Amino acid sequence: MHKTQLLIGEDWVDASAGATADTVDPASGEVVGVFADGTAADVDAAVAAARAGFESDAWQSLSPDARGKLLWKVAELIEENGQELAALETMDQGQPIFISSNVNVPLAAQVFRYYAGFATKIEGKVSPVSIPNQLIYQQRAPLGVCGLITPWNFPLAIAAWKLAPALATGNAAILKPAEQTPLSTVRLAEICREAGIPAGVVNLVTGGPEAGQALVAHQGVDMISFTGSTAVGQEIVKASARDLKRLGLELGGKAASIICDDADVDAAVTGNLQGALFNTGQACGAFTRFLVHRSRVDEFTSKLAAAADSLPIGPGRDPETFVGPLVSEEHLNRVAGYVASGRDQGAELVTGGERVGGDLERGFFYRPTVFAGVQNDMTIAQEEIFGPVLSVMPFDDMDEALSIANSTVYGLVGVVWTQDLRTAHTLPQRINAGTVFVNQLPLIDPGAPWGGLGLSGWGRELGAYSIDEFTETRSVFINLA
C-alpha cells in the first residue's frame, strides 16, 4: 500500500485539511494507494513556494549548462528507477507492462535528456531597425510559475513532457496529476529532488477537481499547461479569463484512418489495431474511425474483427496482455454507454460490445468492439469514446473520405494507408489535424511537435515548440547616441 504526501517547497506534507483519497488497481478494483487530497489552501502554499523557488538565488544563478545537467540527472534517475516507475504506472493506471516499461518510462527519460540539451540553446536575436543609434535585441524569458495538470492515461510520460521544458526554460512548476493515477507523478517529484533541483522549483499537489480548479484560478500562476478532456479545457479557458494567464491545452481527439484502395490491408489491419487499442484505446491520438474504400471494406472489417478477438486481455502486469483494463468503473460504464448508442442508432456490432467476465470480472475490462456500417452522424462517429471501440465506415472516392475525416470538431491526428507515393505526400495536407501518420501507428518523439486544431486544443508540446510555450519574448532597446 502506497501512502503519499504533497511536495510544498522542500517539505513533504499532508494535505492541510488532513484529507486523503484512494487510488485503485483497475485490474482488480483493489485499493493500492492513499494520497493526500489537496485543497485550495494547499494550492496557495504551493504557489507561494513555487514563486520563492523561481526567484531564489539557487535557481536564478544557475547557468543554462548547470540547468541542463540537472535535467540530465533526472533522466538518469528515471532510467535507474525504470522498473519501479513502470510497475507503479501499470498498477495505478492499468496499462500493459510492455507499454509502461518499453514506451512510457523510456520516453520520459528521453524527453528530459532532450530538453537538457535545449537549456543551452534558448537564443534571442538582434533586430535591424530604422531608428538611428539604437541596439535592439530580444530575449526568451521564463514565464514564472507554471501549473502542469496531467491526465490519467499516460501520467508519467505527459508529466515529463510538460515539466522538462518548463524547467529547461527556467520556470518553477506545480505538478497536479489526475486523481485516478497519482503514484508515478509523486515518484517523479521525488526524483527531481534527488537530482538536486532546488527547493520550490518543483512542487506537487495531488487531489481532485478542487485542487485543479484552484490552480487554474490562482492569480499567482503565470501559465497552465493542461492535457485532458475538451470539456475541462473549455472550463479552464473560462476560469483563466480574469487574469489572461498563458494556456497550453492538449485536449480530445477523434482520429480518422483512411485506408485507400491500394493499401496493404493486412498491414493496415495490424497497424490500425495497434493504433486503436494502444493503452486499451485510452489515448487522445487513438485511431477510432476507419474510413475504408468500398472495394476493400468487407475484407478489412472481417480481418479487423478477427484480429481484435484474438488479442490477449488481462491485467497489465501480465507480459502477455495486449488489452488491459479501463481506468475505472465509471469510465467502463461510459464506454458501455457509447456502445449502446451505436447499437441503438443502427450500427452493426461485428464483435465485442460487452464487459469481460470470468476471472477478470472484478476488474474494469471491456472487450475490443468493432462496428460496421457506421454513419458519420452517429454518436460513436462524432464523440470521443476513449476506449476500445472501433468504427468502420466505407467511402467511394477520396473527396468523400476527406469530407468524412474532416467532419469533426477535433483535429489532433489523422492517418493514411496507401502504397502510392503521391497519395502519401499529398493527402496529409488535406487532413485537418496537427499530426498525420502514414502507414504506421501513432508515435511520439521529443523532437516532433504534438497538438491539435479545433477542440483538440491550443499550442504545441515537444520539440522546439515547447520553448515558445514556456517563455515570453522581451525586447531591450539600448540608446547608443
Work out whether the CA dihedral 459, 463, 469, 473 comes out positive or negative. Answer: negative
Calpha distance 53→58 (Å, rounded): 8
Alpha helices in 256-411 (DSSP H): 265-277, 297-310, 329-344, 379-382, 398-406
Per-residue DSSP letter, 25 = E
Q: What is the CA radius of gyration of the chain?
A: 23
Q: Pick the catalytic residue: 250, 384, 461, 469?
A: 250
Strand 255-259 relative to strand 287-293, pairing: parallel
Work out whether the CA dihedral 228, 232, 234, 237 comes out positive or negative. Answer: negative
Q: Please say if 250 is a catalytic residue.
A: yes
**353's grid cell:** 460490445
Beta carbons within 10 angstroms of residue 381's beta carbon: 22
Q: Which residues contact 164 (CB under 8 A, 6 or more apart)?
A: 71, 74, 111, 112, 114, 115, 116
Residue keyed to cell 478489412: 300
What are the distances in angstroms from CA 159 to CA 12, 97, 209, 260?
19, 19, 18, 37
68, 120 in Cβ contact below 8 A?
Answer: yes
In the chain, % helix, strand, coil (3-state, to 5) comes to: 40, 25, 35
- The phi-psi region of residue 137 (left if phi > 0; otherwise alpha if psi is between -120 and 50; otherwise beta) is beta
- Residue 79, Cβ density class (10 Å: 0-12 exposed, 13-18 middle, ≥19 buried): middle
- Residue 278, Cβ density class (10 Å: 0-12 exposed, 13-18 middle, ≥19 buried): buried
List the catalytic residues: 250
